[in-house]
Chains A and B, each alone.
Chain A
Amino acid sequence: MSLPREVITAPLPGIGATRAFDQPASVAVRGGAFVFVSGLTAFDPATGAAIRGTTSSETRQILENLELILEAAGSSLDRVLKVNVLLHSMLEAPNMNEIYARFFPEPPPARTVCGARLPDGVKVMIECTALASDDGR
C-alpha cells in the first residue's frame, strides 16, 4: 500500500498563481489523508496579483482564498486540523484574531501564531493542514 500524493489545482486562475508566477511550490498537495496548504499571502484569486493592505485585510483575503483552495482539494475550513499564522509583528495579533475568528466554525483548529520576517512587505502568511475528503478522492 502506498499513500496517494496529488498536487491540487484550483479552478480560479489566480489560485494557480504559484504556478503562473513560477514559484517553486504547489499551492496545496494532498498526501494520504491530509491536505497541506502552502503559506499563503494575500492575492487576488482571479488574477493572482499580490494585495498589500492591513493585517486585517490581508488576513481576510488569505482566509477567503484558503477556503477556495480547500474546496478545490475536496476539503473545507471545518476540516482544518492545524494552522500556522506568521505575522510581521506580534503587536498585530489582535487585528488578525478579530478576522480569523469569523472564518472557522466551532471548534476551531489547533493553531500557532508567531512573529517572523516575511518576504516582499507581506504582513500575514497563513498555512494549514486539513483532512482530505472522506470519499477518498
Chain B
Amino acid sequence: MTAARLPRSPIEPVNPVLNVSRSANLPHVPGIRVGDYIFLSGMGPIDPLTGERRHGPIAEQVRTTLNNVKHMLESTGSSLTRVVRVHVVLADIADIAEMDRVYREFFPVDPPARTAWSMQLRFGNGCEIECVALGAALA
C-alpha cells in the first residue's frame, strides 16, 4: 500500500487575539490540519476581544471556550458539526453537570464522541477543551 503523504499545516485563527500560544510564546500552535483531519490544541476561556482569561462561573467559561473552539474550526473552513472527538477537562469534577448543560447547546444533534474528566489545569482555568474534527462537508 502506498499512502499519499498528507500535508500538515498549522491553523491560524481569523481573530489573532485567539492565537494564545503565539501571544504567550507557548511552544504549540492553536491547531494542526493534516489532510482533512483537524487537531486543535486544548483551549481555555479566553476573551476573544481582549485576550484575557475569563474566570467567571463555569457555565460562562465553557461557553467562552466552546465559542473559541467554534471560531478556530471555522477559521479553517470546518465547523462544530464536523467534530468527531472532544476532550473536556475540568478543574473541578463537580462542575460536570453545569458543563454538560452548556455543552449540549453547542452540539444539539449527533454529538461527537467525548471524554470528560478532571485534573489540574494551568492558569487557573476552570475548563480546557480540545477536539479532533474533519474538514468541511461538501456544500
Contact = CB atoms under 8 A, between A and B. Distances in A.
Given A2-B36, A3-B134, A36-B132, A116 B110 contact: no
A66 interface: no
B107 A24 contact: yes
Contacts of A26: 110-114
Given A3-B134, A117-B117, A118-B117, A29 B112 contact: yes
A65 to B, nearest CB: 14
A114 B119 CA distance: 10
Interface of B: 36-37, 82, 84-86, 93, 96, 100, 103-104, 107, 110-119, 132-138
Given A2-B36, A3-B134, A24-B100, A116 B113 contact: no
Contacts of B134: 2-3, 5, 31-32
A59 B112 CA distance: 23
Task: Say whether chain B's binding surface is mostly helix, strand, loop, or mixed.
Answer: mixed
Interface in A29-88: 29-32, 34, 36-39, 84, 86
13 contacts: A1-B36, A2-B135, A2-B137, A24-B114, A25-B111, A26-B112, A26-B113, A29-B110, A31-B85, A36-B84, A38-B115, A116-B118, A117-B93
Contact of A38 (B82, B114, B118, B119): B114
A29 B116 contact: no
B30 to A, nearest CB: 20
A79 B53 CA distance: 40
- Chain B CB within 10 A, most for which of A28, A29, A116: A29
Contacts of B117: 39, 86, 116-119, 125
Contacts of A36: 84-85, 112-113, 132
A39 B115 CA distance: 4
A84 B112 CA distance: 17
